[in-house]
């Protein structure tokens, strides 16, 4: 449809991208209108987060052009040439793109062609949504005739594939297809022809993500069942909520932990010996040793008038994550038991998670003052657990403080969050926000 040049804004000394309508289309009134439509739709959204900014529009030799922000990191389409992307990275990109699409929808703009090629990256790997060329914006005349299919076959919502009008829910469906592709390296309904792929969006069942790529957890399947629902009203109401559920499913799957009972380092001589013949397999041998240790521990604590004594245990933690199993052993010396504990750590952990989620919901609603005390309460309940929610709670406190103009107080919480969660795009954005003040 056109040519794109990297150019220099001589006045401001910055790199820009200039999109010029191809000469062979310049005389076609309908195409010129569509090109102008892109400029109007995108300009309307300029300044919104993660949307390519439009600087200028005009004509050159009777060929319309658009001057826009230059992004030098390529596109997600190029990233996908290397196959499935790491889940953490995919979620960060999806958060960026989802934020942009939600903002566009709030302005009454429906993109109608969400796909990896239209999701551009800057040098810091942040995603920006581009090419609103076939967008449907409230207040702009429609160029789509009834029954006309506009979009790209691999990402068409069922309603678009049937020639119906695209809505914000259609964009969210395409966004779900992009997410599926980022995680698995393939589109959910890939077919030999565009017609067959478009038809599959209408009639085929949503495939299992975990069956498409064995390293992905089954917890993701219900999330995509909703994101790619045939009925637009059954889909997620926002892209942000979809990404939040993706992250939650991944964390739940990666955080499944099975804790075995404590095993004394040296079982006492009084412990009765028990022997069974087991195949010489390391895993079964380990289980036999654990069982013997558990029995010894029971005998120690149920010995009539015997007084409880301090003991040293090996605590074994087995963590399962997609594609790997991690076994950790730590030595713990316990003091003689006294009065029973009044509350378990699990109680505080459960309450902390609940309070952290509630604080995050207030943050999403823009109520940072209301979120701060709840986030601080959650952090107090979660501190020292090492759970991923402790990372969330630290971020919620830091994010609230920074949005309330208290950067010096908020930044240490971001550092603590990053130590638990690892690199996150929103942490970097909050730090950048503080630097710009």
Residue range of the domain that includes 280:
259-334
Contact 44, 50 (CB under 8 A): no
Contact 13, 64 (CB under 8 A): no
**276 or 57: which carries more pLDDT confidence?**
57
Instruction: Look at residue 340 and tell me if it is in a domain.
Output: no
18 confidence band (pLDDT: 50, 70, 90) = very high
Instruction: Look at residue 133 and tell me if it is in a domain.
Output: yes
Lowest mean per-residue pLDDT among 233-242, 278-287, 416-425: 278-287
Has residue 94 got a pLDDT over 80? Answer: yes
Other residues' Cβ atoms within 10 Å of the Cβ of residue 284 = 11
pLDDT value for 133: 67
Instruction: Look at residue 15 and tell me if it is in a domain.
Output: yes
The vertex-335 CA angle with 329 and 316, nearest 5°, equals 15
Q: Please say which residue of 69, 93, 118 terminates a domain.
A: 69
Shared domain for 379 and 265, answered yes or no, is no
pLDDT value for 360: 86
91 confidence band (pLDDT: 50, 70, 90) = very high
183 confidence band (pLDDT: 50, 70, 90) = very high
Report the alpha-carbon distance of residue 252 to residue 11 in Å, rounded: 52
Strands of 14-21's sheet in order across: 2-9, 14-21, 63-69, 54-60
Q: Which of 34-43, 108-117, 173-182, 358-367 has the highest mean pLDDT?
A: 173-182
pLDDT tens track for 332-349: 444 444 333 333 344 477
Has residue 16 got a pLDDT over 80? Answer: yes
pLDDT value for 149: 54
Compute the average pLDDT of residues 377-392.
84
Shared domain for 350 and 378, answered yes or no, is yes
Shared domain for 54 and 142, answered yes or no, is no
Residue 141 a catalytic site member: no
Instruction: Look at residue 339 and tell me if it is in a domain.
Output: no
Shared domain for 376 and 390, answered yes or no, is yes
| Number of domains the chain contains | 4
Q: Please say which residue of 44, 69, 94 terminates a domain.
A: 69
Shared domain for 114 and 131, answered yes or no, is yes
Identify any residues that bridge with 66 across adjacent strands, giving them in sequence order.
19, 57
What's the CA dihedral at 22, 25, 29, 35 to 10 degrees? -30
Q: What's the CATH code of the domain at 402? A: 1.25.40.10
137 confidence band (pLDDT: 50, 70, 90) = low
Question: Which is the catalytic residue, given 96, 113, 399, 430?
Answer: 113
Compute the average pLDDT of residues 270-291.
41
Instruction: Look at residue 245 and tell me if it is in a domain.
Output: yes
Report the alpha-carbon distance of residue 304 to residue 325 in Å, rounded: 40
Q: Which residue has the tokens 């009639």?
A: 203
Compute the average pLDDT of residues 403-431.
85
Contacts of 266 (CB under 8 A, 6+ apart): none
Beta strands 136-137; 109-110: pairing state: antiparallel
DSSP code, position 107:
T
Residue 198: both structure tokens together: 């478009």
Q: What's the CATH code of the domain at 112? A: 1.10.510.10
Exposed, middle or buried: residue 12 (CB in 10 Å: 0-12, 13-18, 19+)?
A: exposed
Per residue in 193-210, is it b (16+ CB within 10 Å) or e — as a string? eeeebbbbbeeeebbbbb
Shared domain for 326 and 350, answered yes or no, is no
Shared domain for 241 and 279, answered yes or no, is no
Lowest mean per-residue pLDDT among 37-51, 126-140, 341-355: 341-355
Shared domain for 104 and 141, answered yes or no, is yes
Has residue 140 got a pLDDT over 90? Answer: no
304 confidence band (pLDDT: 50, 70, 90) = very low
The vertex-421 CA angle with 417 and 423, nearest 5°, equals 95
Report the alpha-carbon distance of residue 258 to residue 25 in Å, rounded: 63
**224 or 430: which carries more pLDDT confidence?**
224
Average model confidence (pLDDT) across the chain: 78
Compute the average pLDDT of residues 280-299.
44
Contact 124, 130 (CB under 8 A): no
CA neighbor of 399 nearest in space, from 436, 365, 360, 437: 360
Instruction: Look at residue 205 and tell me if it is in a domain.
Output: yes
Shared domain for 122 and 158, answered yes or no, is yes
Shared domain for 248 and 101, answered yes or no, is yes
Shared domain for 241 and 98, answered yes or no, is yes
284 confidence band (pLDDT: 50, 70, 90) = very low
Shared domain for 56 and 94, answered yes or no, is no
Instruction: Look at residue 378 and tell me if it is in a domain.
Output: yes
Of all residues in the chain, the percent with pLDDT exceeding 70 is 74
Contacts of 219 (CB under 8 A, 6+ apart): 249, 250, 252, 253
Q: Please say which residue of 229, 254, 279 terminates a domain.
A: 254
Has residue 323 got a pLDDT over 60? Answer: no
369 confidence band (pLDDT: 50, 70, 90) = confident
302 confidence band (pLDDT: 50, 70, 90) = very low
pLDDT value for 40: 80
pLDDT value for 71: 92
């Amino acid at each position: 449809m056109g040519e794109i040049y990297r150019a220099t804004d001589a006045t401001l000394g910055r790199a820009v991208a200039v999109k010029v309508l191809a000469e062979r289309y310049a005389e076609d009134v309908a195409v010129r209108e569509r090109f102008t439509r892109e400029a109007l739709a995108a300009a309307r959204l300029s300044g919104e987060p993660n949307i390519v900014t439009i600087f200028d529009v005009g004509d050159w030799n009777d060929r319309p052009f658009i001057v826009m922000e230059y992004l030098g990191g390529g596109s997600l389409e190029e990233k996908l040439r290397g196959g499935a992307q790491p889940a953490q990275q995919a979620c960060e990109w999806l958060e960026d793109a989802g934020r942009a699409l939600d903002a566009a929808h709030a302005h009454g703009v429906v993109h109608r062609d969400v796909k990896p090629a239209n999701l551009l990256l800057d040098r810091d790997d942040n995603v920006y949504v581009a090419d609103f060329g076939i967008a449907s914006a409230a207040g702009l005349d429609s160029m789509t005739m009834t029954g006309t299919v506009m979009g790209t076959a691999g990402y068409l919502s069922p309603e678009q594939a049937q020639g119906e009008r695209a809505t914000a829910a259609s964009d969210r469906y395409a966004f779900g297809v992009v997410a599926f592709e980022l995680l698995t390296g393939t589109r959910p309904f890939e077919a030999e022809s565009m017609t067959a792929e478009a038809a599959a969006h209408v009639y085929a069942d949503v495939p299992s993500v975990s069956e498409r790529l064995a390293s992905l957890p089954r917890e993701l399947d219900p999330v995509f069942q909703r994101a790619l629902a045939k009925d637009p009203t059954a889909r997620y109401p926002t892209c942000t909520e979809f990404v939040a559920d993706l992250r939650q499913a991944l964390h739940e799957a990666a955080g499944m932990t099975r804790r075995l009972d404590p095993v004394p380092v040296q079982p006492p001589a009084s412990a009765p010996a028990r022997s069974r013949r087991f195949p010489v397999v390391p895993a079964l041998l380990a289980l036999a040793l654990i069982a013997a240790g558990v029995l010894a521990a029971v005998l120690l604590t149920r010995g009539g008038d015997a007084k409880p004594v301090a003991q040293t245990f090996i605590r074994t933690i087995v963590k399962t994550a997609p594609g790997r199993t991690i076994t950790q052993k730590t030595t713990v010396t316990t003091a003689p038991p006294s009065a029973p504990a009044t509350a378990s750590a699990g109680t505080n952990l459960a309450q902390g998670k609940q309070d952290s989620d509630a604080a995050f919901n207030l943050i999403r609603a823009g109520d940072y003052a209301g979120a701060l005390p709840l986030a601080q309460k959650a952090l107090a309940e979660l501190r020292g657990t090492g759970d991923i929610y402790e990372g969330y709670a630290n971020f919620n406190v830091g994010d609230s403080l920074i949005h309330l103009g208290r950067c010096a107080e908020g930044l240490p919480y971001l550092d603590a969050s990053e130590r638990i969660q690892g690199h996150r795009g929103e942490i970097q954005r909050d730090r950048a926000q503080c630097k710009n003040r």
